[in-house]
Homo-oligomer: A and B are copies of this chain.
């Protein structure tokens, strides 16, 4: 994303000379250089090589500058992630089935496959298993995002497409669960082919129980 194309170390050279203080205030160029560097490090080395030191070297920034604005590396990763998540619009196709398919194709699996957003998100999930603060941040983020997705079901109910008694929370949970599982097993690309089967299985049942023939 942004403008990462040069294969050399030119990515972080937003300014030719070294950045300096611009006075008693935050230097936006440094913040952007740090986020760019964090993004690049995650892209190239994954979470294993993601250290504050590595980001600082890459950004030609001082470690105290990073620690001043981000309390820990999880916060930095979350900021990198948030730079991505607004680049695609949420689907409203007029039907729940195609809404969910578009959700998986554009916002979950497809998003993770195309950008390095999947790598960042994997790193955040892994970090949340270690760090209590990261877990809380991730859970809050999940609640927010699922509430937005739940509106797909609400719209379907308003259209009379599904019954009012349907548990939309469960439906959303299952879609997201599937996407997470494939992401964490490194099967995002392969899972793209199963999207329609997953959505149909969720909407109509995987086992053919009580279906009208």
Contact = CB atoms under 8 A, between A and B. Distances in A.
A86 to B, nearest CB: 23
A50 B74 CA distance: 19
Residue in A204, A205, A206 with the greatest tally of chain B CB atoms within 10 Å: A206
Interface residues of A, number: 52
Contacts of A47: 129-130
A122 interface: yes
Contacts of A3: none
Interface in A126-177: 126-131, 135, 138-139, 142, 153, 156, 162-163, 165-167, 170-171, 173-174, 176-177
A80 interface: no
A54 interface: no
B208 A211 contact: no
Interface of A: 46-48, 96, 122-123, 125-131, 135, 138-139, 142, 153, 156, 162-163, 165-167, 170-171, 173-174, 176-178, 180-182, 184-186, 194, 197-198, 201-212
A201 B171 contact: yes
A192 to B, nearest CB: 14
Residue in A96, A166, A177 with the greatest tally of chain B CB atoms within 10 Å: A177
Contacts of A167: 197, 201, 206
A204 to B, nearest CB: 5
Given A135-B186, A174-B178, 6 more contacts: A48-B131, A156-B207, A163-B208, A167-B206, A201-B202, A204-B207
